[in-house]
C-alpha cells in the first residue's frame, strides 16, 4: 500500500479496519463504565493516526499489527485530521456530565479534557504545538526523531518485524518531504528556527548523508538486529536500496530548503521573532507550568531562587576547600578537578554508564522507606546516538512499553565526558531514573484504575517537578556523599537559572550568547553543555520553566500536608498520589487537599 492510499484508510473508523476494541470498551452499566469505554475508544482510535505511539506503547500487535509498518502523517491533510480528531474528542468528553461520575471518573474527565485542550492550544496560531512552533530545528523533525525511533523502539524479533522496518524506512522519505513542505509554508509566515539552529540541523542532516547507503546507521541497525535473532534475508541490500533511492534524495531536498530558509530567517533567538510571538510564549508558559504566572513573575522567582541556592552551595564548596571566586567559578574549578573526570575515551564512557547503573541499584534499596508497592520496571541507560548528539539534550527518558516488551531508556549525551564530572551524576540519575521519571511513570503505567490515555500521559510541570523533587528526596534518604550534595544543589541551581534564562530569551530578548554566559557564570557548567541547554530553550519554548515551578508546587503541597496531618503524615502515604497519574499542578494541589481531609477522617 502506498502512503497516500494509507492516508485515506486512516480516515476510516475502527470498525472499517475490522478492529474490535478491548477492555473498558466492552464494559456495561453505569456512567463511569460508559465514560471509561468512551476514553478507551478514543485512545485506540487515536492510535490509527499515531502509529509510532502504538509501537512505543507496545500496542501494535494483533488487530493493530498493521500499525507497525506505518509512520504518522504530517501532510496538511494529516495535520487537519489530527486537529479534527482532537476537537471531536474534546466535545465528546465535555458532553459527559461530571455529576454522573464517581470521584475517580470526575478526575479522569478533568485531566483528559485538559489534555485535549492543550493539544489544540496551537491551532489559533496556525502551529501544531505552542512549545515547539518550528517544524525543523536541531532537535526536532522527522530527520531527528525517526532514525532514533527505528533503532530504539521499533522491535525486530521476527521477519514480519523486519519487513515492517523496511516499510517504515519507505515511509520515512514521505515524512521528510512533509516536514520540508511544512517548513516551507511556515517560513513564508515568519515561523522558522534561529539561524544557528538551522545550521545545526543542516550539519546533522549532512552527517546522515555522509555514509554510503549500506553503511547508514538505519541500515546497520536492521542488519545487526536481524543477525542477532537469526532472521534470514538480504536486509542490508533491501534497506540500502530504500535509503539510497528514497531517503537520501529527501534529505537532500530538506537540506536545500534549510539552506534557503537560513538566509531569510529573522535574527534573534526568542519566541518574539515570530508573528504573535509574545502570545505564543504566554500560551507556552501556561502549558509548560500549568500556572498563570507571567514571564516577569517567573523571572523574579528564578532570580530569588538562584540567590538562595547559591548561598547554600557557598557553604558546601568552602567546606570542600573551594574558597576563591564566585560560586559559579568554584563549581567550574570543581568540574575540572582530575578526580572528578572520566577519561575522554570509549572506556571512560563505559565506566561512566556503569557508575550510573550502580547508583540506580543502590537507590532501589532505599525506596521502601518512602514508597508503597514501588514498581520495578526494567530501565536501560544508554548513550545518545553520536549522529544526533550535537543537537540532542544532555539527558532524557523514554518510558517502557505498556506490554513490557521494551524497557524504559534513560539517555545521556556523552559527546564529551567532560560535561559530566562525577559529583554531578547522581542527581541526574535520581532525576531520570528512580525515584524520578522512571518510578513516577511506573506507577502510572501500573495504575489499573487509570484509563489508557493517562497511563503514559506526561505533563511537564508535574513530571519534571516530580523528578526534581525526587532529587531532594534522594538527599533526604542519604543518597549523596558530601561533594555529591554540591551536584544536587547545582542541579537545583541549574533549574532555577532556567527560569531566568527562558524568560530572558523569550520575553526580555536575550541573545543565545548572553543566556549561555549567564548559565556558565551562575551554574558552573562547561560552556559546550551550557550552550546546548540554551539552544534547547530557544526552540522548545517555556518547557525549561516547568522543572522548578513544578518542584516548588510539589514541595509546597507536601509541606502543607505535613502541617495538616502531623503524626498521620508519612512519605509512603504522600507518594501514593503517583498512582492517580499525571495532572496539572492546580489539580494536584486540590487532590492532595482532598486526600488530607480523607486521612484526617480515617
| CB atoms near residue 222 (< 10 Å) | 27
Check whether 15 has a pLDDT greater than 80: no
**Cβ-proximal residues to 325 (8 Å cutoff; 6+ apart), any chain:** 333
- Residue 418 above 90 pLDDT? no
Rounded Cα distance, 423 and 487, in Å: 5
Name which of 16-30, 418-432, 573-587 the model is least confident about.
Answer: 16-30
Cell numbers placing 77: 491533510
Confidence class for position 28, pLDDT limits 50, 70, 90: very low
Q: Please, are residues 556 and 521 in contact by the beta-carbon 8 Å criterion?
A: no
Chain length of the chain:
602
Pairing of strands 379-383, 395-398: unpaired
pLDDT band at 303 (very low <50, low <70, confident <90, very high): very high
Residue 589 has pLDDT above 80, yes or no: yes
How high is the pLDDT of residue 218? 97
Strands 408-412 and 395-398: antiparallel
Mean pLDDT computed over 558-584 = 97
Return all residues near 397 (Cβ < 8 A) that are at least 6 apart.
408, 409, 410, 411, 432, 437, 438, 441
How confident is the model over 359-394, as pLDDT tens digits?
999 999 999 999 999 998 889 999 988 877 876 777
For residue range 51-98, list pLDDT tens digits in order: 999 999 999 999 999 999 999 999 999 999 999 999 999 999 999 999
Nearest to 24 by CA among 45, 38, 6, 7: 38
Q: For 143-192, how does the pLDDT look when each residue is reduced to its tens digit (9 = 90+)?
A: 999 999 999 899 999 999 999 999 999 999 999 999 999 999 999 999 99
Confidence band of 29 (pLDDT split at 50, 70, 90): low
What value does the mean pLDDT take over residues 556-563? 98
pLDDT digits (tens, 9 = 90+) for 332-363: 999 899 999 999 999 999 999 999 999 999 99
Chain mean pLDDT for the chain: 92
Tell me, letter by letter, the H, E, C secondary structure of 366-381. CHHHCCCCCCCCCEEE
Beginning with the edge strand found earlier in the chain, give each strand of the sheet holding 395-398 in spatial order.
379-383, 408-412, 395-398
pTM of full prediction above 0.75: yes
Any idea which residue has 544526533 for its cell?
388
Q: Strand pairing partners for 412? A: 383, 395
The alpha carbon of 601 is separated from its chain's Cα centroid by a whole number of angstroms, namely: 39
Instruction: Report pLDDT for 275.
Output: 97
Among residues 317, 300, 68, the alpha carbon closest in space to that of 168 is found at 68
Asked whether residue 22 carries a pLDDT value surpassing 80, the answer given is no
Q: Is the pLDDT of residue 246 over 70?
A: yes
The string of pLDDT tens digits covering residues 439-483 is 999 999 887 789 999 998 999 999 999 999 999 999 999 999 889
Query: Cα(394)–Cα(68) distance, rounded to whole angstroms?
Result: 29
Amino acid at each position: 500500500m502506498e502512503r497516500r492510499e494509507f492516508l485515506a484508510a486512516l480516515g476510516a473508523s475502527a470498525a472499517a479496519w475490522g478492529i474490535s476494541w478491548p477492555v473498558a470498551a466492552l464494559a456495561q452499566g453505569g456512567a463511569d463504565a460508559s465514560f471509561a469505554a468512551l476514553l478507551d475508544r478514543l485512545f485506540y482510535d487515536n492510535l490509527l493516526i499515531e502509529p509510532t505511539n502504538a509501537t512505543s506503547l507496545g500496542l501494535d500487535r494483533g488487530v493493530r499489527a498493521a500499525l507497525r509498518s506505518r509512520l504518522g502523517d504530517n501532510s496538511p491533510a494529516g495535520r487537519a485530521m489530527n486537529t479534527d480528531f482532537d476537537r471531536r474528542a474534546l466535545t465528546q468528553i465535555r458532553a459527559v456530565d461530571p455529576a454522573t461520575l464517581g470521584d475517580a471518573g470526575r478526575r479522569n474527565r478533568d485531566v483528559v479534557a485538559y489534555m485535549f485542550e492543550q493539544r489544540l492550544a496551537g491551532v489559533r496560531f496556525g502551529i501544531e504545538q505552542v512549545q515547539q512552533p518550528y517544524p525543523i530545528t536541531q532537535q526536532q523533525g522527522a530527520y531527528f526523531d525517526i532514525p532514533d525511533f527505528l533503532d530504539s523502539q521499533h522491535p525486530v524479533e521476527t521477519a514480519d518485524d523486519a519487513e515492517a522496518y523496511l516499510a517504515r524506512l519507505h515511509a520515512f522519505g514521505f515524512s521528510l518531504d512533509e516536514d520540508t513542505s511544512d517548513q516551507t509554508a511556515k517560513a513564508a509566515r515568519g515561523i522558522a528556527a534561529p539561524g544557528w539552529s538551522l545550521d545545526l540541523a543542516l550539519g546533522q542532516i549532512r552527517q546522515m548523508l555522509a555514509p554510503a547507503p549500506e553503511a547508514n546507521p538505519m541500515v546497520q541497525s536492521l542488519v545487526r538486529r536481524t543477525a542477532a535473532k537469526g532472521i534470514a534475508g538480504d536486509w542490508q541490500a533491501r534497506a540500502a536500496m530504500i535509503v539510497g533511492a528514497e531517503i537520501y534524495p529527501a534529505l537532500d531536498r530538506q537540506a536545500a530548503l534549510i539552506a534557503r530558509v537560513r538566509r531569510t530567517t529573522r535574527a534573534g533567538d526568542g519566541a518574539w521573532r515570530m508573528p504573535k510571538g509574545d502570545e505564543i510564549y504566554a500560551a507556552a508558559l501556561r502549558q509548560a507550568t500549568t500556572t498563570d504566572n507571567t514571564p516577569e513573575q517567573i523571572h523574579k522567582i528564578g532570580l530569588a531562587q538562584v540567590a538562595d541556592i547559591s548561598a547554600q552551595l557557598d557553604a558546601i564548596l568552602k567546606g570542600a576547600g573551594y574558597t576563591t571566586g564566585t560560586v559559579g567559578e568554584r563549581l567550574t574549578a570543581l568540574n575540572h578537578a582530575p578526580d572528578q573526570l572520566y577519561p575522554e575515551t570509549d572506556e571512560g564512557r563505559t565506566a561512566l554508564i556503569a557508575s550510573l547503573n550502580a547508583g540506580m541499584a543502590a537507590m532501589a534499596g532505599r525506596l521502601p522507606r518512602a514508597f508503597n508497592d514501588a514498581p520495578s520496571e526494567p530501565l536501560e541507560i544508554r548513550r545518545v546516538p553520536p549522529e544526533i548528539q550535537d543537537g540532542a539534550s544532555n539527558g532524557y527518558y523514554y518510558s517502557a512499553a505498556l506490554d513490557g516488551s521494551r524497557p524504559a531508556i534513560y539517555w545521556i549525551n556523552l559527546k564529551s565526558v567532560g560535561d559530566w564530572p562525577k559529583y554531578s551524576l547522581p542527581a541526574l540519575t535520581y532525576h531520570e531514573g528512580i525515584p524520578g521519571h522512571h518510578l513516577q511513570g511506573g506507577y502510572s503505567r501500573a495504575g489499573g484504575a487509570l484509563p489508557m490515555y493517562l497511563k503514559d500521559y506526561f505533563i511537564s510541570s508535574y513530571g519534571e517537578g516530580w523528578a526534581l523533587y525526587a532529587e531532594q528526596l534522594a538527599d533526604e534518604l542519604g543518597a549523596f556523599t558530601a561533594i555529591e550534595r554540591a551536584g544536587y544543589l547545582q542541579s537545583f541551581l541549574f533549574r532555577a537559572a532556567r527560569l531566568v534564562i527562558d524568560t530572558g530569551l523569550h520575553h526580555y530578548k536575550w541573545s543565545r550568547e548572553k543566556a549561555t554566559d549567564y548559565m556558565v557564570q551562575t551554574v558552573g557548567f562547561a560552556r559546550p553543555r551550557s550552550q546546548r541547554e540554551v539552544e534547547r530553550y530557544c526552540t522548545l519554548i517555556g518547557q525549561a520553566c516547568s522543572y522548578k515551578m513544578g518542584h516548588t508546587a510539589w514541595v509546597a503541597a507536601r509541606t502543607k500536608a505535613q502541617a495538616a496531618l502531623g503524626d498521620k503524615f508519612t512519605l509512603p502515604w504522600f507518594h501514593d498520589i503517583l498512582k492517580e497519574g499525571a495532572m496539572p499542578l492546580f489539580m494536584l494541589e486540590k487532590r492532595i487537599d482532598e486526600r488530607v481531609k480523607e486521612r484526617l477522617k480515617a
